[in-house]
Amino acid sequence: MHLPEEKTFHEPDKLFVRFISDYIKELSRPKKRIGKKTILGLSPMYVWAREQKKSDNPHWHVWLILNGDYIQNINYPLETAERCWARKLEQQGRGYIHWCTKGRDGQPQKNGIKLIRDKGSELRCNMSEAFEQFAYMAKPHTKDQTPMNVNAYGCSMIPNIETTFKSQSQFWLNR
């Protein structure tokens, strides 16, 4: 996700932190209707990384962890992110959230990894794919311009996965 290039933001990191707070509250609100399902809230968890190399403004990568029993595709969380970020930017329209559904070559790519809990409480997923997506956020050469006293990374309080997803059969990791 990024800021409009035509504008310089004096406190972009505070703006982003307020966005994350509002966004997680929005996804957590009870009684969301998704398709034919009404759910009690998504209880999202997240990890983010701040990047800034040459631009006047930073941009952020956000990895969401969502309950796959309720979310079967990325449209709802990404549309919600678009709305929340546009409100924070006081901008109309879309385009400040990159959905990561196309590669640099323009070809379609998958956004999200579904982890499945077997009956024996083992998690199955494509771990190399998950590691590759997550490691992308850790690349140090894009953290060069992070000011002092500004976090380059952040995350929600991630509870014990065994406890959180004990009764749930699957969940999605969206980047």
- List, edge to edge, every strand of the sheet that includes 113-117: 123-124, 113-117, 170-174, 59-67, 45-51, 153-155
What are the tens digits of pLDDT across the range 90-111? 887 678 998 888 888 989 888 8
| Residue 1 maps to a domain | no
What does the pLDDT read at residue 113?
A: 77
Q: How many domains does the chain have?
A: 1
Domain around 103: 12-174
| Residue 107 maps to a domain | yes
| Residue 4 maps to a domain | no
| Residue 111 maps to a domain | yes
What are the tens digits of pLDDT across the range 109-118? 888 777 666 6
What are the tens digits of pLDDT across the range 20-69? 999 999 988 876 566 666 666 777 889 999 998 888 889 999 998 887 77
| Residue 3 maps to a domain | no
Neighbours of 97 (CB within 10 A): 19
What does the pLDDT read at residue 169?
A: 45
What does the pLDDT read at residue 137?
A: 80
Residue 171 has pLDDT above 50, yes or no: no
CA distance 83 to 26: 10
Q: Mean pLDDT across the stretch 141-170?
A: 71
Pick 131 or 10 by higher pLDDT: 10
| Residue 149 maps to a domain | yes
Q: Mean pLDDT across the stretch 126-153?
A: 80
CA distance 77 to 43: 12
pTM, entire model:
0.78
CA angle, corner 89, sides to 2 and 43, nearest 5? 75
| Residue 7 maps to a domain | no
| Residue 92 maps to a domain | yes
Residue 82 has pLDDT above 70, yes or no: yes
